[in-house]
A and B are shown apart, each in its own frame.
Chain A
Amino acid sequence: MKLKTEVLIVGGGATGVGIARDLSLRGIPCILIEKGDLASGASGRNHGLLHSGARYAVTDPQGAIECISENRILRRIAPHCIEETGGLFVSLPEDDLCFRDQFLQSCEAVGIPTRLLSRDQALSIEPELNPELLSAIEVPDGAVHSFKLVMENAMDAEKMGANLLLHTELTSLLLNKNKVNGAKAKNLISGEEYLIEPSFLVNATGAWANQFLRLAGLKIEMALSKGSLLITNQRLNQRVINRCRPPSDGDIIVPNETVSILGTTSVRSDEAENFETTPQEVSLLINETSRLIPSVQEVRLIRAYAGIRPLLQSAGVNGDRAISRGFTLIDHEARDGVKNLISITGGKLITYRLMAEKTSDLICEKMGVRIPCSTHLTPLSGATQASDVKTQLKKLNPTLSKEKKEILCDCELVERGEVERILIDCKLKEPLDILRRTRLAKGTCQGGFCLYRLLGVLHERGMVQKDSSNLLKGFLEERWKGIRPILWGDALKEEELIEGIYKGIFNLTPTHPSPLEEGQGGGARH
């Protein structure tokens, strides 16, 4: 299929969908292609922190200013994706109090409001904190539901006419000296091929930036840094808890709905895909974050996961923690003489909107039009929906409503109706994508039971035909990546149960042929 558009955006992370929404609000037509699902890269694999900027105040004041400004904008335009928890920077006896003073001064300099709390004040509002703490500084950190934020941006852009093609991979670029004339793409599920002819092309592929640029014979200096995180099966803290010391491994615990997220590590990675959390990282995260909240040592973990940060390199900097977490907008016309190609990379989830604004501004400038950005003023359309406590509780616990419901996921109380609604509304072609759109399989058993049930529902809806054990195996392998690093204690017991079901009762094996292809004559066919 041949498609013409003004702007082709490659990458369905926060930045890509942010650009799609920004351009759509400006009335500029665009197509977005994403080789996986929305937010399947770093946008969906982070700690969901609504940065106040305080973390960067000392080391990167410019980054801190961007954070606090975007923090305020997001509270306005996306209140439904945010929990206004507040945050603390906790000083422990082994931490240098000079850093604390420097931290307070730097926050003041960049306009981040702070309040110094005594040990007792801090413990009275966060009783799980390490009682050895010396003091804590209150900052306006928060928690953000990152996938929801990406989805909402995407839905808004679509409503305004943007064309989002998921599971569609860029396969080649048609170059003509100083211009990209077209892009070839392929839908990885249906196999359909596209020839897209845009006036401008935006590379918003994050960690995959150089894979994209290779198609144009270009390259940027970029480092990939893996950050691993752990999810606890209960919420340990009300506020975001940070360690008041220079940025380091295991210095943050972010509350997120019913869980807490322990983060993070920073390990240089060669690949943008196929990475996992190592047991060493798990031990390091537990040991470090348990200095902030001691019960981390005992609490049950439900999953480990990792994301890849794309970091822009500049000469003479040592260590990835020192590389700027700021973003870079590259006009390849100025840099490489390719007129209509732009790369936007680096940055953080919280600055996605600003990154989209700057990219869209550059496109407008190249187009020779002056349409101002309005994403900082226009709330996401979901922001106006009612979300009072009663409605939320009902959604959370279907037993409160009178209707009889079939709960597929017992850990997270996800009911069948919700799953079926999403399957229909989102026209999902890839069954695994449902897992990003519901709480299904996010609870203690990590899908041990509900993945099987989801498959049953897919069969009943006719979305899966014939033998589906390969799909089930795919689910189980995906699940395995997240739980393998944390298998001890109760999680190990649960694993014995899950293996007993799938490898035991159901005899699923990696090489097992489908039941009727064992060369013993079909039999039951009729």
Chain B
Amino acid sequence: MHYDLIVIGMGLSGLMAAKTATEAGRKVLIIGKGIGGLALFSNSIDVLGIPSLAGPETKSLKDDLSQWILDHPNHPYGKIGAEKIEEALSSFNALFPPPYTFQAKNGSNSLLPTGAGTFRPTYLIPSTMMKGTTIKNKKILLIGFKGYKDFYAQQLADSFLCRAVTLSLSGMSQAEINSTTLARWMEQPTFREWIGTEIKKQILNEELVGFPAVLGLKDPMGVRKDLEKRIGLPVFEIPALPPSIPGMRIFRRFKERLIQRGVTFLLGHSVSKAYVNRERCERIEVLNPPLLTSYTADCYILASGRFMGGGLKADREKISESIFNLPLSQYEVREKWFGDSFFDDHPVHGVGISTDSTFHPIDESGRPILENVWVAGTILAHHHFIQEKSREGIEIATGYWAAKQGIDSL
């Protein structure tokens, strides 16, 4: 089967690339082993949350980005530029019309409360979490659930100096309560009625009610509205341990849109081999035992992620790229991959694929290696997304721009 563009990887960068290509009228195949960090880590959209910059809630993100790009020309953002990053973010935003939208507050980062009782600087915030940015000035009641081990309301209450209620769900017949179970229950009106009544009884002088981020998968704003009606107070969500329900919402929305637009969606499959001839990828093979299927395309987007996603592999001696065996940016011997403290900015996280300004992979001398392959997402070199708080921003911006470059070549 032949396509205009094949995307390898179904994380946020791959999805963004597929969306961009299909909206340009191209025939697209997207192949993914899994859905990347989306379902684990993504709640809001981090773009750049370095505290050493002027800091959150002070400067506009655009100014931060411009400064960052000046200081880090090799960073993936440096290849795109602040203007075009905004363009990519707008394209992402267009997927989420009201009521469930992603918005920035005053064009700058906001501090969002987290499930560890800390705050995280983030940029685009989903509607269900927005009120979390105001908790410093409000009286809050936090809600937890007995037996739900990925969120402890009392721990947060001790950090945020507010009150917590942990509801017992002994009436529900379920062996284990996790984020997914809770999100499913939240979609049932009877469940909301029950917890809503329970919570209302517990309200003293609070002004806001905080939940773990499990307010349903399909219609979070409907769930929230109904809870607010029953409790009588505004409600917001707080990011919890993985899996991330808000991340799954993003995935669902992308999947819906891509399938609607005719994108071929191969989830649960991985590329076993790529055939390269004279600096062009000719075809790829997908092994789904006992079937081995070949696909061809005019251009390919490599968005296979880092170690967890399988884009990079590390053994005791070396790190390598899994599909094309592309050269990696310089890295040290294993002894130096990680620092002495867990909190160090570990050198291994900077390792990745070096590209030219159009996201073509390059060799040590800076020469492009594959003329019809573009690289996107966290597998790129020269960023430290965990430290920078730039995960989703890099994925969205590079996925968008790598696909644009691919389309332009057609």
Q: What residues of chain A have their CB less than 8 Å away from a CB belonging to chain B?
A: 278-280, 283, 286, 399, 404, 406-408, 416, 449, 452-453, 455-457, 459-460, 464-469, 472-473, 476-477, 479-480, 484, 487-489, 492-493, 496-497, 499-510, 512, 514-516, 520-526
Q: Is B143's beta carbon under 8 Å from chain A?
A: no
Taken together as a complex, chains A and B put the C-alpha atoms of A522 and B315 apart, in Å, by 48
CB pair A404 B175 closer than 8 Å:
yes
CB pair A467 B117 closer than 8 Å? yes
Q: Which of B116, B121, B175 contacts A508 (CB 8 A)?
A: B116
CA distance in complex: A408, B148 (Å): 10
Q: Is B159 in the interface zone, CB < 8 Å from A?
A: yes
Interface centre among B41, B158, B176 (most CB of A within 10 A): B158
CB contact under 8 A between A469 and B159, given known A456-B149, A476-B342, A507-B119: yes
B160 / chain A contacts, CB cutoff of 8 Å = 515-516, 524
In the complex formed, the residue of B with least CB distance to A456 is: B152
Indicate the member of B115, B150, B162, B386 with the most A CB atoms within 10 Å: B386
Q: A453-B149, A522-B161 are in contact. Are A507 and B114 (CB under 8 A)?
A: yes
Is the CB–CB distance between A496 and B308 below 8 Å?
Answer: yes
Smallest CB gap from A500: residue in B: B41
Judge whether B242 is part of the interface by a CB distance below 8 angstroms: yes
B295 within 8 A of A: no
Q: Mark B28-70, 1 if CB is under 8 A from A, else 0.
A: 0000000001001101000001010000000000000000000
**Is A279's CB under 8 angstroms from B40's CB?**
no
Contact A492 B386 (CB under 8 A): no
Which of B150, B241, B307 neighbours the largest number of chain A CB atoms within 10 Å of its CB? B307
Q: Which of B381-405 contact A (CB under 8 A)?
A: 386-387, 389, 391
Most buried by B among A496, A505, A512: A505
Q: Given contacts A457-B152, A505-B43, could you give 6 more A-B pairs where the C-beta distance is less than 8 Å? A: A406-B149, A464-B155, A467-B117, A487-B337, A497-B40, A515-B119
6 residue pairs bridging A and B, Cβ less than 8 Å apart: A399-B175, A407-B149, A484-B340, A496-B306, A505-B41, A524-B162
Given A500-B40, A506-B116: A467 and B136 within 8 A (CB)? no
Q: Which residues of A contact B135 (CB under 8 A)?
A: 523-524
Contact partner of A506 among B120, B161, B342, B391, CB < 8 A? B120
Interface residues of B (CB under 8 A from A): 37, 40-41, 43, 49, 51, 113-121, 135-140, 147, 149-152, 154-155, 158-162, 166, 175-176, 205, 239, 241-242, 244, 306-308, 313-316, 334-335, 337-338, 340-343, 348, 386-387, 389, 391
With A504-B391, A507-B389 known as contacts, the answer to whether A460 contacts B152 (CB < 8 A) is yes
Complex Cα distance, B49 from A153, in Å, reads 52
Decide: B41 and A493 in contact? CB cutoff 8 A.
Answer: no
A468 to B155, CA, bound (A): 8
Q: What 5 A-B pairs come out closest when comparing CB atoms?
A: A456-B152, A523-B136, A507-B120, A506-B116, A459-B155
Q: Select A501's contact among B41, B51, B316, beta carbons within 8 Å.
A: B41
Q: What separation, in Å, do the CA atoms of A286 and B155 have in the docked complex?
A: 41
Q: Report yes or no: A488 in contact with B314, Cβ–Cβ below 8 A.
A: yes
Closest CB in chain A relative to B181 CB, distance in Å:
13
**Complex CA–CA separation, A283 to B121 (angstroms):** 40
Given contacts A504-B386, A515-B119, contact A524 B242 (CB under 8 A): no
Would you give the shortest CB distance from B173 to chain A, in whole angstroms?
9
B313 CB contacts on chain A under 8 angstroms: 489
Residue of A nearest to B335 (CB): A279
**Nearest CB of B to A180, in Å:** 40
Within the complex, the shortest CB–CB distance from B41 to chain A, in Å, comes to 5
CA distance A514 to B160 in the complex (A): 9
Contact between A455 and B136, CB atoms less than 8 A apart: no
On whether the beta carbons of A477 and B341 are closer than 8 Å, the reply is yes
- Chain A residue at smallest Cβ distance from B205: A526
Give the CA-CA distance A300 to B305 in the complex, in Å.
22
Interface hub of A452, A457, A477 (most chain B Cβ within 10 A):
A452
For the complex formed, measure the closest distance between the CB of B160 and the CB atoms of chain A, giving whole angstroms.
Answer: 5
Q: In the assembled complex, which residues on chain A have CB atoms less than 8 Å from the CB atom of B155?
A: 455-456, 459-460, 464, 468
B residues near A506, Cβ cutoff 8 Å: 114-116, 118, 120
Complex CA distance for A278 and B159, rounded to whole angstroms: 37
Residues of B within 8 A of A521 (CB): 136
| A499-B162 Cα distance, complex, nearest whole Å | 28
Of A469, A493, A512, which one neighbours B308 at CB under 8 angstroms? A493
Interface centre among A407, A456, A523 (most CB of B within 10 A): A456
- When distances are taken between beta carbons in the complex, the residues of chain B under 8 Å from A473 are 342-343
Q: Which chain A residues lie closer than 8 Å to B49 at the CB level?
A: 507
Contact of B152 among A449, A455, A467, A492 (CB under 8 A): A455
Chain B residue, CB-CB nearest to A448 = B241
Contacts of A469 in B (CB 8 A): 116-118, 159
**Are B389 and A459 closer than 8 Å at their CB atoms?**
no
CA distance A449 to B151 in the complex (A): 11
- What's the minimum C-beta distance from B211 to chain A, rounded to whole angstroms? 16
Q: Are A467 and B242 in contact (CB under 8 A)?
A: no
Residues of B with C-beta under 8 A to A280: 335
Q: How far in angstroms is the closest Cβ of chain B from A372?
A: 52
Q: How far is the CB of B76 from chain A (nearest CB, A)?
A: 17
Complex Cα–Cα for A459 and B152 (A) = 8
Q: A460-B154, A467-B158 are in contact. Are A524 and B139 (CB under 8 A)?
A: yes
**From A460, A469, A497, A510, residue with most partner B Cβ within 10 Å:** A460
Q: How far is the CB of B75 from chain A (nearest CB, A)?
A: 18
For the complex, give the distance between the alpha carbons of A459 and B160 in Å: 13
Cβ-defined contact, A508 with B118, below 8 A: yes
Specify which chain A residues have a CB less than 8 angstroms from the CB of B41 in the assembled complex.
500-501, 504-505
Among candidates A453, A500, A512, residue contacting B118 with C-beta atoms closer than 8 Å: A512
Bound CA–CA A480/B154 (angstroms): 27
- Chain A residue numbers with a CB within 8 Å of B159 are 466-469, 514-516
With A456-B152, A523-B135, A524-B161: A499-B386 Cβ-Cβ less than 8 Å: yes
Q: Do A515 and B306 touch across chains, with their CB atoms under 8 A apart?
A: no
The answer to whether B118 and A283 touch across the interface, beta carbons within 8 angstroms, is: no
Residue of B nearest to A416 (CB): B149
In the assembled complex, the CB of B244 is this many whole angstroms from the nearest CB of chain A, namely 8
Assuming the A-B contacts A460-B152, A489-B315, are A505 and B341 also in contact, with contact meaning beta carbons closer than 8 angstroms in the complex? no
Q: CA–CA, A507 to B121, complex, Å?
A: 8
Q: Which of B113, B158, B175 contacts A464 (CB 8 A)?
A: B158
